[in-house]
Structure 1
Amino acid sequence: MNGDPDAAGSDRETGQLVYLNGPRDIEFREYPVPDPDPHAVVTEVVRSNVCGSELHVWKGDHPLKDCVLGHEALCRISDLGDAVETDSAGNPVSEGDLVAPVYFQTCQACDFCRRGEFYACDNDYEHTGKSPDIWPHFHAPWGTHYYIYPDNHFYKVPEALEDHLNVTAAANCALSQVLFGIQEVGVNYNDTVVVQGAGGLGLNATVVANEFGAETIVIDGVDERLDQAEAFGADHVIDFRELDTVDARKERVEEITDGAGADVGIEVAGVPEAFVEGIELLRKGGRYLEMGNVRPGHEVDFDPGRLTRKSIDITTAVEYDPWVLHDALEFLAATVDDYPYDQLIDASFPLEDIEDALEASERRDVTRATLVPPT
């Protein structure tokens, strides 16, 4: 039966989800598991990670409010709509298959979608922002189930990743984002790329830049993150506690680049001051990718003349074209044995302990936590 399952009686299977009722106010709610519409898919959540975005939403420092939480997910198909035979890349799918869903929709109807700018869809969070009281309830994957709408892309997980569940769950966020951003800014063979920040985005950016044939410089100020940057193939690391001024870090980058400065800068620290510094680290005619500062309202003094006099091109990236997730899964499958991706997900929590996971993440006791729903 398709449509609202609540009319089918009280004997239906139910599932749980995590709902944010306000800043730091988490509720568990229970709803009937929906039957899919013909072009939709019902899944059981296998893993769902705690990303920094969820921390911002949880703390009330994000445009999303009062919603079902989660976006980094790996799911198993439990019920296919009658019209669904393949994933969004044309691969045949059946019940029991592992799939990775794109966490936002592309409506195909707004001005941006009509221009082919699917990463900028004007209705990207339409489903995520719905109340869970609205059928089909499971609008985001912090829960036991997740509903993949007809306008959500999803991709079957390559066999090479079936033993890397936590890592694969993260592919639809950090890896897809940096793969899209790096393609947009244009990283070429033999470029020198400076990455500001060695969190999840920064480490994935380092891997992608490495695989594109670039020389990589990673800047951070946490011992563990600097060690991880080296493990993920950074050619050089800069500890901003030792080189504690912009001029000192600029001098070090110029030393590495024979006085020129980096060809490409990637800001993934999420600190407004990093943007100002990044311009100083680039050569004349360099390219700069801004991805980390995603929260409006955080300001910094900036001299636009410095940008203009150096002829710096600025590219920003938030979200990505939905088919990039397919590329990210293929990229991950090809490199999963070459880099320590498993180090990026270093703590596992039962779904019912979500508040412990959020608090540990906020304290930075963990790099990234994964949530495991009850079976």
Structure 2
Amino acid sequence: MTEAEVMEYRDYEVPEPAAGGVVVKVLRTNICGSELHIWKGMHPTKKSGVLGHEMVGEVYSLGEGVDRDYAGEGIKVGDRVVAAYYITCRKCTPCQEGNFHLCEHAYDFWNLEPDVAPHFHGTFATHYYIHPDQYFYKVPDSVSDVAAASANCALSQVYFGIDKAQITYGQSVVIQGAGGLGLNAAAVAKEKGATVIVIDGVQSRLELAKKFGADHVINLNDFSTLEARAEQVLRLTDGKGAHVGIEVTGVPAAFAEGIHLIRLGGKYVSIGNISPGKLTPFDPGLLTRKSIQVLPVVRYDPWYLKKALDFLKSTSEKYPFNEMLDREFSLAEIKTALDESAARNVVRGSIVIAGKSALVNESVTN
């Protein structure tokens, strides 16, 4: 992406990985909400460069010293892997304080232009470069490419947020948004033993949410005002409101609405809103009177990617993860894929990278 909504293709030689690094062939890469923020020019840090961060890939070459993943499992050329899309340096102040997801060097490479070696900084490409300080894990054989591609970041991030909210059996959870993050959040919350309520304005998404564990769904078209939606949530929670709210819409107004859906002393996890300068009227007095704890979540501690893979392995027969990616595109159709996703014509678009090659220095497309 050279600027917002403008894209071109460039060719580079496949790099040799440095010691501790890995090069993978991209099998499948998804369009996450973050890509749409970038595509529309609304991301706080990334304004151009190679897009894409959710992917499953096949190990193409291993750097010196790499024979295991970050869980200690043996790794070799040809194995399928997923990787956290950011760096964890383990040396900066947030890392030293245990907040690996807030590493000050998280986007050192993600924000680079493709002309800067090793070129393959994003997953909308035939190959992807995993750096030495970038966690990666082998994909279990029973987990499909479709499911694995969403492990980073959709599943990992909502899993991280749900754990921060300490959701327990018997609690109620209201999820604002039934896109990729919302569907994954519904499944994780359901496995925690929660009663799950999902709000969205697209009926097909709500129908899919039911398959991912939603006990109740609220269509914005049927409950068109904040007051109507809040009243419906109260009705579904014995007049108390939800124990936990999860915002994964990326819409500022949804954040303002969330506190109206949560009970006294509840918690509110904010994940979707990442664009700075997008404002909405907010009632801080209501937040204070209800003593709601707000938990903003960006990225995730990188070992949650392994937890996400384990979750997929244990629940793949229970939830239709293969249905979450409802439309496929080729590498040449990425602009169409982004536009269709931004228009909400698809729940979650997926780019299938066609063709395999064993050539070390083939000319490839970024």
- TM-score norm. by structure 2 comes to 0.94
Q: Which runs of 5+ in 2 are unaligned?
A: 356-366
Match for residue 288 of structure 1?
268
1:251 partnered with 2:231: yes
CA–CA distance in structure 1, aligned partners of residues 73 and 134 of structure 2: 16
SS at match of 1:355: helix
- Once the two structures are TM-superposed, the CA of residue 286 in structure 1 deviates from its matched residue by 0.7
SS at match of 2:7: strand
Match for residue 17 of structure 2?
36
1:145 partnered with 2:130: no
Match for residue 218 of structure 2?
238
CA–CA distance in structure 2, aligned partners of residues 253 and 58 of structure 1: 34
- TM-score norm. by structure 1 comes to 0.92
1:276 corresponds, among 238, 256, 281, to 256
Deviations 1:92-122 (CA, angstroms, capped at 9, x unpaired): 0011100001111111221111111001111
| Contact map agreement 2:178 2:209 (CA 8 A) in 1 | yes
SS at match of 2:155: helix
1:171 partnered with 2:123: no
| Contact map agreement 2:32 2:180 (CA 8 A) in 1 | no
| Contact map agreement 2:205 2:347 (CA 8 A) in 1 | no
1:103 partnered with 2:91: no
- Once the two structures are TM-superposed, the CA of residue 130 in structure 1 deviates from its matched residue by 1.2
The amino acid across from 1:27 in the alignment is: E
Match for residue 316 of structure 1?
296
1:112 partnered with 2:94: yes
1:23 partnered with 2:4: yes
Question: How many pairs does the alignment contain?
Answer: 354
Match for residue 192 of structure 2?
212
CA–CA distance in structure 1, aligned partners of residues 346 and 220 of structure 2: 21
CA–CA distance in structure 2, aligned partners of residues 258 and 319 of structure 1: 34
Q: Which runs of 5+ in 1 are unaligned?
A: 1-19
Deviations 1:270-307 (CA, angstroms, capped at 9, x unpaired): 21111122111111111111111111111111121100
Match for residue 12 of structure 1?
none
CA–CA distance in structure 1, aligned partners of residues 351 and 220 of structure 2: 33
| Contact map agreement 2:27 2:354 (CA 8 A) in 1 | no
CA–CA distance in structure 2, aligned partners of residues 243 and 55 of structure 1: 27
Deviations 1:136-173 (CA, angstroms, capped at 9, x unpaired): 11111111111110011000001111xx2122111111
| Contact map agreement 2:179 2:348 (CA 8 A) in 1 | no
Taking only the aligned residue pairs, the percentage that are identical comes to 49
- Once the two structures are TM-superposed, the CA of residue 363 in structure 1 deviates from its matched residue by 2.3
Match for residue 42 of structure 2?
61
SS at match of 1:234: coil
SS at match of 1:86: coil
1:363 corresponds, among 327, 343, 346, to 343
1:80 corresponds, among 62, 66, 70, to 62
Match for residue 374 of structure 1?
354
The amino acid across from 2:87 in the alignment is: Q
Q: Between Structure 1 and Structure 2, whose CA radius of gyration is higher?
A: 1
Q: Could you say which structure has the greater relative contact order, defined with CA pairs below 8 angstroms and 6 or more residues apart?
A: 2
| Contact map agreement 2:84 2:152 (CA 8 A) in 1 | yes
The amino acid across from 1:90 in the alignment is: G
Match for residue 6 of structure 1?
none
- Once the two structures are TM-superposed, the CA of residue 372 in structure 1 deviates from its matched residue by 2.0
CA–CA distance in structure 2, aligned partners of residues 221 and 365 of structure 1: 12
